Amino acid sequence: MYIHVKKDILNRDKSAQLFEEAKKLFPGGVNSPVRAFKSVYGPPLFIKKGRGAYIIDEDDNKFLDFCCSWGPLILGHANEKVTSRICSTVVEGTSFGTPTALGNTIGRLILDNNKYIDKLRFVSSGTEAVMSALRLARGYSGKSKIVKFEGCYHGHVDSLLVKAGSGLATFGVSTSAGIPESFINETIVLPLNDLVLLEEAFKANDDIACVIIEPIPANNGLLLQDRNYLVWLRKLCDDYNILLIFDEVISGFRVGYEGAAGYYSIQPDIITYGKIIGGGMPVGAYGASHEIMSHVSPDGNVYQAGTLSANPVAMAAGIATLEQLIEEDFYDNLEAKTLQFVNKIQAHCEAKSYKLQIQSIGSIFWFNFSEHRVMTPDQISSDGIEHFKNLHRYLLDSGIYMGPSGYEVGFVSAAHTPEQLSEAADVIIKGLDLIF
């Protein structure tokens, strides 16, 4: 098999050297764990530059990028309008800690074009958005427990770093050290795609403030749910007077300008955003109805603040991004390109009877090495994750960069041309022929 006969042809000398140095500076040599390439071959690449659909590493290797900074770069790298807006803003000063007109501009750009939220608050990351949304749900409802689903990721919020324990009705166990038992006890973890267990949990607990879900779960493979399930989830939350939070840090502005709420036409109570909303700068946000948002400080008694919140440079990047996303046909074009790419690979897999279903929605795709669509994390094949590891190595050697784990989804940006995508599909097909 390929992995036994082939040596790395990619020269990663500089990256390897920088990684050795970084290990002395940062835990595991990185500032976010998955960047360490623990689940794929070789040292991580140190990237020095990005242009359009490409990134270039310190050894001057060039890659077609399907990671796109884990989702934010829906316009590709160094988009001209985004960088020039950042530059013209930054020379006027980087931060004032006051309201700015730029904040209003992006606020209007979002709220005038999204019927699912009336008001929003900017923060500086997806994690912070989720953390704030949970506090708001609890402050608004006066209740304390939260329901989350196995297979959804919501950032590194203490009370959400929890997975199901043995026995689904019992409380979960933490997935990180350093989380007090008492925090875990406030979180109920349930399987996706299961309304029976959900209603049982609702019946058994009268202290549930909210349910949080990635309506398009895209952090543990792409575990696409049926719209019907989400509609019923909405209905059950209404029946039991429980708030529904859509964590749209990935899906927001990705599957459409109104995110998953718009894609499925479902009204959540609170929505969290991140990634794309900041156009590559550190931005998050949470939004809801006027009534719910009136509980946020200083209007209400749910405290939440941030020194660099709505930072003008970040707002400028967000504005320049969103102005392009709102153009007619933006999402249709992106989705059509992605489908063409995915279908080309899928057709080959079918002709060869390879066990691979590429799951995709909008411009998100995921290599599901199995014969069936998967909707819960336990259905993900561990053989498949091993296949991905081999494929990843082949693709790096061939100039294609994917997120460094079989559980990570890929993103197509507006900068990827149909020609680049068609060539990439050919390379991926060659890679699959080698690993199967």
Cβ proximity to ligand PLP: between 130 and 243 the closer is: 130
CB of 219 to ligand PLP, least distance (A): 5
Q: Residue 422's closest CA among 332, 347, 328?
A: 347
CB of 9 to ligand PLP, least distance (A): 32
CB of 259 to ligand PLP, least distance (A): 11
Which of 85, 138, 154, 234 touches ligand PLP by CB under 6 A?
154
Q: Is 126 a residue that touches ligand PLP (CB under 6 A)?
A: yes
Cβ proximity to ligand PLP: between 257 and 394 the closer is: 257
**∠ CA(420), CA(426), CA(429), 5° rounding?**
140
Q: What are phi and psi of 62, to 5 degrees?
A: -115, 135
Q: Is 279 a residue that touches ligand PLP (CB under 6 A)?
A: no
Query: From the candidates 65, 275, 337, 397, which is the catalytic residue?
Result: 275
CB of 123 to ligand PLP, least distance (A): 9
Find the part of the chain contacting ligand PLP (CB under 6 A) among 23-31, 124-132, 134-142, 294-302: 124-132
Q: What are phi and psi of 274, to 5 degrees?
A: -170, -155
Instruction: Give the bridge partners for 366, in sequence order.
Output: 359
Return the exposure string of 379-412: e unless at least 16 CB atoms fall within 10 Å of the residue's CB, then b: ebbeebbebbbbbbbbbbbbebbbbbbbbbbbbb
Over the window 303 to 332, marking each residue x when it contacts ligand PLP by CB under 6 A and - when it does not, the resulting string is ------------------------------
Which of 79, 125, 309, 357 touches ligand PLP by CB under 6 A?
125
Question: What is the footprint of ligand PLP within residues 213-252 (CB under 6 A)?
Answer: 214, 219, 247, 249-250
Q: Residue 375's closest CA among 165, 182, 203, 216?
A: 216
Return the exposure string of 353-375: e unless at least 16 CB atoms fall within 10 Å of the residue's CB, then b: ebebbbbbbbbbbbbbbbeeebb
**Cα Rg of the chain, angstroms:** 22
The number of residues that bind ligand PLP (CB under 6 A) is 14
Q: How far, in Å, CA of 100 to CA of 104, rounded?
A: 7
Query: From the candidates 140, 153, 331, 401, which is the catalytic residue?
Result: 153
Instruction: Give the bridge partners for 360, in sequence order.
Output: 365
Q: Residue 95's closest CA among 320, 317, 318, 310?
A: 310
Tokens of 341: 């790419």
One-letter identity of residue 134 = L
Find the part of the chain contacting ligand PLP (CB under 6 A) among 56-64, 122-130, 161-169, 230-238: 122-130
CB of 93 to ligand PLP, least distance (A): 25
Q: Is 335 a residue that touches ligand PLP (CB under 6 A)?
A: no
275 a catalytic residue: yes
81 a catalytic residue: no
| DSSP H/E element including 422 | helix 418-435
What is the separation of C-alpha 164 from the centre of its chain, rounded to a whole number of angstroms? Answer: 21
Cβ proximity to ligand PLP: between 174 and 219 the closer is: 219
Find the part of the chain contacting ligand PLP (CB under 6 A) among 18-26, 150-158, 287-295, 328-336: 150-158
Positions marked catalytic: 153, 247, 275
Residues that bind ligand PLP (CB under 6 A): 125-127, 130, 153-155, 214, 219, 247, 249-250, 274, 284
